[in-house]
Chains A and B, each alone.
Chain A
Amino acid sequence: MQQATHAGLAAFAPLTIRQFLKLTVPPLVVSSRCHSVIPPPRDSDEKEMLDRMLRVDHAGEYGANRIYAGQMSVLRRSQSGPLIQEMWNQEKKHLERFNEILAENRVRPTALLPLWNIAGFVLGASTALLGKEGAMACTVAVEESITEHYNSQIRALMEKDPERYTELLQVIKEFRDDEMEHHDTGLEHDAETIPGYWLLKTAIQLGCKVAISVSQRI
């Protein structure tokens, strides 16, 4: 199907017999959204809303990446190193996906990226210095914030028009499930045993809330 489209476009390229045979088969109805996650915006309001959502999601994944990087820099050779590395790899995949989506849809990334770079790394490294439990507590707090944020985005999109945003909803749901898994993993690995757990968690979640609200516009 894709090759038929390609052959149609590159009309001057010589067709191989295989391509020609594929051409003679009537093409299936190709969904116009088969490659893009975001539907083309109908007006500037929708574009702005989608831009904000994607910008803050991108910033969130970028920050999460840096947090795990900070944690790894301290706990690389400890017992929880492989675990943190695995969670970090998943975040890297998320970030890559959002990079693609932003580039495709010409969304401006947040100008505060250098700030989240440093702040994320410092947060990850400093909580990891409190030990494995500190790192896990940080993970729990951050993943809970992110999960809540994704949930509110899913709610907003469902309220607007679930049909129109099916692919985007799929992506966000998938990522939300991954983040919830990280959250549960953190809890399993003694996050709550750290002294001052409640204080640490509240402080981190407050920071996340501020970061999310600021990254939407700037």
Chain B
Amino acid sequence: MAALVRALRAGHGAGRALRVLPRVLAPHCDQKCMFHGAVLRLQDESKCDKAASATASATHHVHHDFQQAPPEDAVSEQTSDEGHRPSSSFQEQSGEQDEEYETEEQLQARILIAALQFVPVHGWSMEAIAAGAESLGLSSASTGMFTGAGDLVLHFIAHCNSQLIQILAEQQKQVQLGQAEPKKTADFLKDAVETRLRMYAPYIDTWPQAMSLLLLPQNIPEGLKLLSSLVDDIWYYAGDRSTDMNWYTKRAALTGIYNTTELVMVQDSSPDFQETWDFLHNRIQDVVNMASTAKQVQSTGEAVVQGLVGAAVTLKNLTGINQRR
């Protein structure tokens, strides 16, 4: 909480791109949100408490981290626990005790977030990551930490997923408090997918490149995992509590809808992607119709079977078979 307050106060002072990150910690928030919280706190400490000297020392410290690969993890893992405690490491004006240790993952997260602003210029590539690192005052050689531009895409997707979860959790809370009406499933799915895809709007020109990066063999497992957890979360918040094959069919249907809508979006040139949302609406209607048709088929089948059994019994009665008892 203290981190939030300080971040908010600092936010007024410095308008950096990082401030657009949502900072409300949601129950389903994953580790990345914690990193962002810690990242922002570290950012604030370096900015608010001590000006250039701290940044320089942080940079120096971070560089120091790079040069010492083996012991770094042990040290930074240990101190990352300290880093997560909100205000206990808040040093006032006594300068030198920089408790700005951060783990490698936190640093990677910071660089990747900063790299996003360079994506429209450099595309989803190592150049964007290098530019991001430089914008944080780090050497562009820090791209060595990343195996490829796929890392940037995957991190962005994970970030969008956690944002969506926050929004859905907030909506659920509103419904529980009685402040909002619960939506019908089809509408809920449509809104959830639309909200999620709109997060791609600023990067839509370069998104085909991102999608092709996701198809590289080394990125496929992680990409699939993110997609399946996204679809699972959307259905969970839509109220799905099934424990039979419906669990699988629902998620498969939504995965199909999401993927095809994403593809339509990247080649959509209509204002505000109106064609995409129409397409989405139609696909969801298709699935809903298919589900109701399946139910109708099933009940028709049951009625037909009952009719046949009735006819068989009648026949048995007529021919007198039933009386031989």
Q: Which residues of A contact B (CB under 8 A)?
A: 9-13, 58, 98-99, 102-103, 106, 108-109, 111, 113-114
Contacts and interface: CB of A to CB of B under 8 A. Distances in A.
Given A106-B232, A111-B248, A10 B243 contact: no
B247 A108 contact: yes
A113 B245 contact: yes
B33 to A, nearest CB: 16
Given A106-B232, A106-B236, A9 B244 contact: no
Contact of A11 (B177, B232, B241): B177
B243 A9 contact: no
Contact of A102 (B178, B179, B243, B248): B243
B176 interface: yes
B178 A103 contact: no
Given A10-B177, A106-B236, A111-B248, 11 more contacts: A9-B177, A10-B178, A12-B178, A12-B179, A13-B178, A98-B243, A102-B243, A103-B243, A108-B247, A109-B243, A109-B247
A82 to B, nearest CB: 22
A10 B248 CA distance: 34
A57 B236 CA distance: 22
Interface string B222-258: 0000000000100010000111110110000000000
B174 to A, nearest CB: 12
B250 to A, nearest CB: 12
B178 A113 contact: no
Contacts, number: 26
B177 A99 contact: no
B245 A114 contact: yes
Interface string B158-178: 000000000000000000111
Contacts of B177: 9-12
Contact of B244 (A10, A12, A106, A109): A109
A115 B230 CA distance: 28
Contacts of B248: 111
5 contacts: A9-B177, A11-B177, A113-B244, A113-B245, A114-B245
Given A106-B232, A106-B236, A111-B248, A99 B243 contact: yes
A106 to B, nearest CB: 6
A13 B176 CA distance: 12
Contacts of B242: 103
Contacts of A11: 177
Nearest to A95: B243
B261 to A, nearest CB: 24
A20 to B, nearest CB: 18
| Most interface-central of B241, B242, B243, B245 (chain A CB within 10 A) | B243
Contacts of B236: 106
Contacts of A109: 243-244, 247
A36 to B, nearest CB: 14
A106 B236 CA distance: 8
A9 B174 CA distance: 11
Given A108-B247, A109-B247, A111-B248, A103 B176 contact: no
A186 to B, nearest CB: 28
A11 B173 CA distance: 13
A113 B247 CA distance: 11
Q: Which 10 A-B pairs have the closest CB atoms?
A: A103-B241, A102-B243, A99-B243, A109-B243, A109-B247, A10-B178, A113-B244, A103-B243, A113-B245, A106-B236
Contact of A9 (B176, B241, B247): B176
A136 to B, nearest CB: 28
Contacts of B232: 106
B80 to A, nearest CB: 16
A109 B250 CA distance: 13
A76 to B, nearest CB: 15
Contacts of A58: 243
A58 B232 CA distance: 19
Contacts of B243: 58, 98-99, 102-103, 109
A103 B247 CA distance: 10
